[in-house]
Amino acid sequence: MTARSAQHASFTIERVFDAPVAKVYAAFATEQGKSRWFAGHGKWELMERQFDFRVGGRERLKGKWTAGDVTEFDCVYRDIVPEQRIVYTYDMYHNGNKLSVSLATILFKPTAKGTHLSVTEQGVFLDGYDDAGSRERGTRELIERLAASL
């Protein structure tokens, strides 16, 4: 039997984009905008994408890496204030095993030069999965891809 455990971690990433809030928000709130930056990279093949951006709506992203590993992101939107805030919970899976459950809060604020974005995640990593900061590193990479997509 697998030993059961729960390890907590949280992080915040802040970034200023030289783009208006409406454009940065649309990169999260529209399927077309999000599909430009939110996916696996390199040797990753999309298997499934669902996008229902509304309170209570779900987003799913599932893909397979060249080595055969399958990763899944399964999200439920909990709170949306257009162009100000998005709050969602999500589960992450690796080869069908649940790795974590997280709460993510994304804040958008206009600045003189564009948009200040703040992403905070609070997660619980399950049953021996030692994140060792990889979630934060992965989120930072996604924010870089978001920047390139804008």
The runs of H, that is alpha helices, within 18-117 are 21-29, 31-35
Q: What is the largest CA-CA distance in the chain?
A: 56
What are the tens digits of pLDDT across the range 51-74?
A: 999 999 999 999 898 888 898 999
The CA distance from 100 to 44, in Å, is 21
Q: What is the pLDDT of residue 89?
A: 98
Residue with tokens 């804040």: 107
C-alpha to C-alpha distance for 102 and 68, rounded to whole angstroms:
25
Tokens of 102: 């997280």
Q: What token pair was written down for 144?
A: 């870089």
Cα separation of 50 and 31, whole Å? 9
Q: Which pTM was predicted?
A: 0.91
Q: Which domains does the chain have, with CATH numbers?
A: 6-149 (3.30.530.20)
- At 111-136, the pLDDT tens digits run 998 999 999 999 998 887 777 778 89
pLDDT (0 to 100) of residue 2:
66
